[in-house]
């Protein structure tokens, strides 16, 4: 999904949710009825990037026995993530931990990026003098 397409879909989503006020969240949580200790999370306006990142990080947890995702339809920007745990933690807690881990990882990446850019600019300023 390119940037402009995403922004137009996001605008459309917010306009629709304000008009209909039926769905005001991009996240829907559902308990999985066919599996024990499992849940399904639907994320609107997301694609394979978030799905795969979440799935891979969920599988790093020893309590998670299954994690998978699918894009509902190629023309819809919605994914479903299914998670099953061994029962020692709730599936929602596993997802929360994964999201926190991803957030921390991206914060670290952002800090390292800013540091490297500052070093590069400082180096270039020395060369110009």
- CB contact at 8 A, 95 and 103: no
In 48-90, alpha helices (H): 48-59
- Mean pLDDT computed over every residue of the chain: 86
- pLDDT class of 3 with cuts at 50, 70, 90: low
Average pLDDT, integer, range 52-68: 96
Percentage of the chain modeled with pLDDT above 90? 60
Q: What one-character DSSP code corresponds to residue 102?
A: H
pLDDT of residue 20: 46
This prediction's pTM: 0.74
How many other β-carbons are positioned within 10 Å of the β-carbon of residue 98?
23
b/e per residue 49-74 (b: at least 16 CB within 10 A): eebebbbebbeebebbebbebeeeee
């Amino acid at each position: 999904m390119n940037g402009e397409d995403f922004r137009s879909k996001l605008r459309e989503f917010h306009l629709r949710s304000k008009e209909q006020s039926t769905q005001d969240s991009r996240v829907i949580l559902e308990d999985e009825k066919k599996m024990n200790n499992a849940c399904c999370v639907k994320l609107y306006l997301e694609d394979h990037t978030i799905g795969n990142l979440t799935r891979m990080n969920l599988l790093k947890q020893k309590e998670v026995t299954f994690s998978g995702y699918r894009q509902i339809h190629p023309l819809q920007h919605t994914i479903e993530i299914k998670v099953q745990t061994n029962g020692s933690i709730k599936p929602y807690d596993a997802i929360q931990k994964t999201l926190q881990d991803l957030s921390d990882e991206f914060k670290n990446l952002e800090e390292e990026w800013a540091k490297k850019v500052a070093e590069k600019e400082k180096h270039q300023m020395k060369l110009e003098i």
